[in-house]
Amino acid sequence: MSNSSDERNGLITDLKNLTENMRPPWNKGANRLMDLDLTIPQLKVMYLIADLKTAQMNVIAREMDITVSTCTHLIDKLVASGHVVRGQDPDDRRVVLCSLSDSGIESLDKLQQDMPFAKDEFTSRLSVEELKIFVDAITIMQRVMTEINS
């Protein structure tokens, strides 16, 4: 095994160890998530609808790789909890459109605000040089995730 291969393997091991031991000193986001009483699939649907603004049921199902009946069940729960509203396409009344309610938008906004990297208590402890490194690292992570998902 070459030195660069050894170095790479060592760095990957370090990365795994570091991420396994990362526990943010705050858990407000986790508490807020528990307060919402939503499942992970329901949150995924909400984030998808937020990205699309308004979405047809079949589009949500396709994007999430689930059946339309499973999608309907998820949407029913989100409508009942007040996070999503159903509407009709003005051009075709047979088409059901889903969008986030004001409550749904507010819930996602609050979750986003509680993300550790968005908090001043995290970023205020980093120097400008460390912030640049962190932004570069996240940019690399996004690129790799995009490559994996495409």
Question: By C-alpha distance, which of 90, 91, 96 is closest to 49?
Answer: 96
Using only the alpha carbons of the chain, give its radius of gyration. 20
Report the percent of the chain where pLDDT is more than 90. Answer: 38
Query: pLDDT tens across 92-148, in order?
Result: 888 889 999 999 999 888 887 766 555 666 777 888 888 888 888 888 888 888 888
CA torsion sign for 141, 51, 69, 38 is positive
Q: Residue 26 pLDDT more than 60?
A: no
Confidence of residue 19 (pLDDT cuts 50, 70, 90): low
Confidence of residue 23 (pLDDT cuts 50, 70, 90): low
Q: Residue 18 pLDDT more than 60?
A: yes
Residue entry with tokens 């009709």: 88
Q: Residue 86 pLDDT more than 80?
A: yes
Q: Residue 14 pLDDT more than 60?
A: yes
Query: pLDDT tens across 37-63, in order?
Result: 788 899 999 999 999 999 999 999 999
Following DSSP, what letter does each residue of 38-102 receive, concatenated? Answer: --HHHHHHHHHHHHHSEEEHHHHHHHHT--HHHHHHHHHHHHHTTSEEEEEETTEEEEEEEEE-H
- Please tell me which residue, 10 or 52, carries the higher pLDDT value: 52
pLDDT of residue 66: 94
Q: Quick one: DSSP state of residue 110?
A: H
The C-alpha atoms of residue 114 and residue 122 are separated, in whole angstroms, by 11
The C-alpha atoms of residue 54 and residue 69 are separated, in whole angstroms, by 19
CB 92 within 8 A of CB 130: no
pTM (global) more than 0.75: no
Instruction: Return the SS3 of 133.
Output: helix
Amino acid identity of 113? Q
